[in-house]
Structure 1
Amino acid sequence: MQSAHDLVNTLFKQATDPKLKTRYSSCLENYNDGIDDLRGLPALLKSRDYSGLNIHASAALDDPSTCDDNFSDPPAEAPQLKVASEKVQGLIGIILVVSNLLK
């Protein structure tokens, strides 16, 4: 998720369109929240709190999706951000599957 956050930060700095600046700023907040949610996962896994793991991973999954939703109207989402978001969501999806299997 950190690499997607870094990408959003770069896109934010490069954007000249005020709408894009606003959207990327919102995405930075989303990814910051997601990083916070993921930061606690190792401790939850270590303590075998699989329900907590699932809850935090689910919360983290919402963050890149919320960022993507910012681009439902033009200007369009940068293609590299869409790809990064899909990768993050896929990895979090794997965490969710594992946490559900362990519950």
Structure 2
Amino acid sequence: MAAYLMNRVFVSSLMLSVMIGSLNAQVADIKAICGKAKNQSFCSSYMKSNPKTSGADLPTLANITFGSAQTSASEGFNRIQSLVKAATNPTLKKAYTSCVQHYKSAISSLNDAKQSLASGDGPGLNIKVSAAMEGPTTCEEDMANFKVDTSTMYNSGDFQNICGIVLVISNMM
């Protein structure tokens, strides 16, 4: 009987804590975030296209955009990896293989950034997401150095833009 009462008190106090915590959560100012983004129109379109962003607080918005950045990096990695497998031209294969390594590095940086996001470490998140953004940029530079037609490549623009939103949010955390 005493254990039952203790459990009820514990559950009640836990629920009260959750309710108080949710009352303190403020809706993120998406207009302010997009106003600071490098590509403001992309940010606005991204936020409007994702119903989960409406009414989200800053930590939730950080998680949503960060998840999108991870998805975008994985899609880029998979696309370039398939190009490596299909390439018969040695120069193309070498260029694509270089890009695979850069995307692996970006994904690794994002995995490190996940810990900063989970702990609410805005500056750490910013540094690690900035590092992740270098991978696709370096890939594009390598492709230009190899004088390879990039029309078959994965467009890293969305990844860069989504990461840019994460950077803005990290500065607000």
* Structure 2: distance between partners of 1:79 and 1:95: 27
Cα distance per residue 1:46-93 (max 9 Å; x no partner): 212111101100000010000011122422113442x2x111111111
Structure 1 position 43, deviation (Å): 2.0
Structure 1 position 95, deviation (Å): 0.8
Structure 1 position 10, deviation (Å): 0.4
Which residue identity is paired with 2:92?
L
State the match for 1:19 in structure 2. Answer: 91
Query: Could you state the TM-score of these two structures normalised by the residue count of structure 1?
Result: 0.88
State the match for 1:44 in structure 2. Answer: 116
Cα RMSD, aligned residues only: 1.3
Which residue identity is paired with 1:53?
L
Give the alignment partner of residue 162 of structure 2, picking from 91, 100, 103: 91
Q: When the two structures are aligned, how many residues end up with a matched partner? A: 100
Tell whether 2:152 aligns with 1:76: no
State the match for 2:106 in structure 1. Answer: 34
Query: Could you state the TM-score of these two structures normalised by the residue count of structure 2?
Result: 0.54
* Structure 2: distance between partners of 1:80 and 1:63: 14
Structure 1 position 41, deviation (Å): 2.5
Runs ≥4 residues deviating over 3 A: none
Structure number, greater radius of gyration: 2
Which residue identity is paired with 1:45?
L
**What runs of 5+ residues in structure 2 fail to find an aligned partner?**
1-72
